[in-house]
């Protein structure tokens, strides 16, 4: 008969030795104490209380011990489990308290912050001024007409009566679009003014015709305080029976009044454009010194450089050759046209010193003009 196993020494089941259980407990408590977030705590729980944890594996050995040793080892392992579970629960409570504190801080809505001082964007003053100018003419019965920015040379020059050797066609003014196979010209240009829209309107719209055309234009000017290779113009064109220079003057006076207020005189002086005959440049009385050439204290007016007048536009009666190019009978119809630079008008109206400010896209610049719808 074999002897009962009473003499089995639990200390010899190495994993259940008190020092070994203490070590496993110590490891577990250290890992739990070091867990700095929920993931690390979960990893510590799996490592020290999971199915494959050393203590779990050791406790499986308890059943193999003789009854006397089993009770003692069982107590030891149970004690270790309790310690570890308490530590896990305490650490979890700490981490939850931390998280709650953080959430309260991070997700707090500061109801004292002024919601209405959040900076809104602003539309660009070139856009709002172009629209305002167009609106003046829409109010007088004009329609908005548009044309492409990459334009056929024929519309930009030929149909507008620019002779083939006109200096404005030369490289220093015009961006020519290269042709295929490296040819320097394709017959297309970046439009140098909005006047080609006149031609498009006359070719496609019924008479009488009243159109206004705002749009982007391009000239190969170097960028400096007063020139930009990309700028905007707005063009007006009227073709009807019996239109005279008096109608042109009336239209110009109406728009100066809309832009600068009543009471400023306008002046036409002879000028030359191939597509208008006669042609004139338009000046208006300086809106700052109102023609006095000097400021109230007698110092020279900086806005008009003491001229009393500010040049704002080109204009004229549509050249009969242009009417003919568009299939319009110049014996029956006459027309007038005018064109002005929007950036330039903006600079005059708002006292801007540098056109480059309009190009930089800094919302602080736009915002200074107020938020227009
Ligand atoms: N297109 C001319 C320019 O760019 C301006 C203009 C328009 C002149 C219409 C007369 C009539 O300088």
State whether the Cα torsion 253-213-238-169 is positive or negative.
positive
Indicate which atom in ligand 1 lies nearest the CA of residue 195: 1
pLDDT tens-digit readout, 56-107: 988 888 888 887 788 888 888 999 999 999 999 999 999 999 999 999 888 8
Does the pLDDT of residue 41 top 90, yes or no?
yes
The reply to whether 155 and 96 lie within a common domain is no
Domain extent for 60: 14-106
The whole-number average pLDDT for the span 227-233 is 95
Return the axis-axis angle of helices 245-260 and 342-350, rounded to nearest 10°. 50
Pick from 51, 78, 106: which residue ends a domain? Answer: 106
**Ligand 1 touching residue 338 (CB < 6 A):** yes
CATH number at residue 276: 3.30.930.10
* pLDDT beyond 80 at 115: no
Site to substitute for ligand 1 among 275, 283, 319, most atoms within 8 A of C-beta: 275
pLDDT of residue 1: 46
Same domain, 101 and 129: no
Residue of 228, 242, 197 lying closest to 338 (CA atoms): 197
157 lines ligand 1 (CB under 6 A): no
Ligand 1: centre distance to CA 185 (Å): 24
Cβ proximity of 184 and 297 under 8 Å: no
Instruction: Output the six-digit token pair for 13.
Output: 């089941």
Q: How far is the CA of 141 from the centre of ligand 1 (A)?
A: 21
Indicate whether 373 belongs to any domain.
Answer: no
Quick check: CB of 273 below 6 Å from ligand 1?
yes
Q: Is the pLDDT of residue 274 over 90?
A: yes
In a domain, 151, yes or no: yes
Cβ atoms < 10 Å from Cβ of 78 = 12
In a domain, 259, yes or no: yes
Residues 201 and 305 in one domain: yes
Q: 342 CA to middle of ligand 1, Å? A: 13
- If asked whether residues 80 and 171 sit together in one domain, one would say no
- Does the beta carbon of 252 sit less than 6 angstroms from any atom of ligand 1? no
CA gap 235, 313 in Å, rounded: 10
Asked whether the predicted pLDDT for residue 321 surpasses 80, the reply is yes
Residues 275 and 302 in one domain: yes
Does some domain include residue 33? yes
Higher model confidence: residue 369 or residue 192? 192
> Residue 235: CB within 6 Å of ligand 1?
yes
Per-residue pLDDT tens digits for 234-250? 999 999 999 999 999 99
Q: Whose CA is nearest to atom 7 of ligand 1?
A: 339
CA 313 to centroid of ligand 1, rounded, Å: 7
- Which region among 5-14, 194-203, 210-219 has the lowest average model confidence (pLDDT)? 5-14
pLDDT-based confidence at residue 119 (cuts at 50, 70, 90): confident
Q: Is residue 112 part of a domain?
A: no
From the CB of 195, is ligand 1 less than 6 Å away?
yes
Whether ligand 1 lies within 6 angstroms of the CB of 236 is answered as no
Q: Are residues 251 and 203 in the same domain?
A: yes
Q: Are 193 and 291 in a shared domain?
A: yes
Residue 29 near ligand 1, beta carbon < 6 Å: no
The verdict on 144 and 218 lying in the same domain is yes
Of 45, 72, 106, the one marking the end of a domain is: 106
Would you say residue 36 lies in a domain?
yes
Strand order of the sheet with strand 209-218? 143-144, 209-218, 230-240, 334-341, 309-318, 276-285, 266-273
Answer with the one of 106, 137, 166 that is the final residue of a domain: 106
Contacts for 12 with CB less than 8 Å, ≥ 6 apart: none
Q: Report which ligand 1 atom has the smallest distance to the Cα of 341.
A: 4
Count of domains observed in the chain: 2
Residue 257 scores a pLDDT above 90: no
317: Cβ below 6 Å to ligand 1?
Answer: no
Residues 267 and 344 in one domain: yes
Q: Provide the whole-model pTM.
A: 0.68
Q: What are the pLDDT digits (tens) for 153-212?
A: 999 999 999 988 887 777 558 999 998 888 888 999 999 999 999 999 999 999 999 999
What's the mean pLDDT when you consider all of the chain? 89
User: Do 96 and 153 lie in a common domain?
Assistant: no
Residue with tokens 């056109």: 355
The average pLDDT across 321-349 equals: 95
**Bigger pLDDT: 367 vs 118:** 367
Beta strands in 251-344 (DSSP E): 266-273, 276-285, 309-318, 334-341
Task: Give residue 3's pLDDT band: very low, low, confident or very high (50, 70, 90).
Answer: very low
200 shares a domain with 79: no
For ligand 1, the distance from its centroid to the CA atom of residue 15, given in whole angstroms, is: 99
329 and 192 assigned to the same domain: yes
Domain assignment present for 5: no
Q: Does 54 score more than 80 pLDDT?
A: yes
Residue 48 has pLDDT above 80, yes or no: yes
Task: Select from 197, 273, 316 the residue to mutate for testing ligand 1; criterion: most ligand atoms less than 8 Å from CB.
Answer: 273
CA-nearest residue for atom 10, ligand 1, is: 315
User: First vs last Cα of the chain: how many Å apart?
Assistant: 106
Domain assignment present for residue 93? The answer is yes
């Amino acid at each position: 008969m074999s002897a009962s196993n009473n003499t089995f020494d639990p200390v010899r089941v190495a994993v259940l030795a008190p020092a070994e259980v203490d070590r496993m407990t110590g490891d577990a408590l250290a890992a739990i104490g070091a867990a700095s977030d929920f993931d690390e705590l979960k990893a510590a729980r799996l490592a020290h209380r999971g199915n494959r944890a050393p203590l779990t594996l050791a406790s499986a050995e308890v059943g193999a011990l003789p009854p006397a040793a089993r009770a003692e080892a069982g107590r030891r392992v149970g004690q270790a489990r309790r310690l570890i579970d308490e530590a896990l629960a305490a650490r979890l409570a700490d981490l939850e308290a931390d998280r709650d504190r953080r959430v309260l801080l991070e997700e707090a809505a500061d109801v004292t912050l002024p919601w209405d001082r959040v900076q809104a964007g602003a539309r660009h003053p070139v856009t709002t001024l172009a629209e305002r100018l167009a609106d003046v003419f829409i109010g007088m019965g004009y329609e908005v007409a548009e044309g492409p920015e990459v334009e056929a040379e024929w519309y930009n020059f030929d149909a507008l009566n620019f002779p083939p050797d006109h200096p404005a066609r030369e490289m220093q003014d015009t961006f020519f679009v290269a042709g295929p196979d490296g040819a320097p010209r394709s017959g297309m240009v970046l439009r140098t003014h909005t006047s080609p829209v006149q031609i498009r309107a006359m070719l496609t719209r019924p008479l009488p015709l009243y159109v206004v055309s705002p749009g982007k234009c391009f000239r190969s000017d170097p960028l400096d305080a007063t020139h930009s290779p990309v700028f905007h113009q707005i063009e007006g064109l009227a073709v009807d029976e019996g239109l005279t220079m008096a109608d042109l003057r009336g239209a110009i006076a109406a728009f100066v009044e809309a832009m600068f207020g009543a009471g400023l005189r306008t002046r036409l002086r002879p000028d030359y454009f191939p597509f208008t005959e006669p042609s004139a440049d338009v000046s208006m009385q300086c809106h700052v010194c109102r023609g006095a050439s000097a400021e109230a204290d007698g110092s020279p007016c900086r806005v008009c450089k003491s001229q009393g007048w500010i040049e704002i536009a080109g204009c004229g009666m549509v050249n009969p050759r242009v009417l003919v190019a568009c299939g319009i009978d110049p014996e029956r119809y006459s027309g007038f046209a005018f064109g002005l630079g929007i950036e330039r008008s903006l600079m005059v109206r708002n006292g801007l010193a540098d056109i480059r400010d309009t190009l930089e896209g800094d919302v602080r610049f736009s915002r200074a003009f107020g938020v227009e719808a």
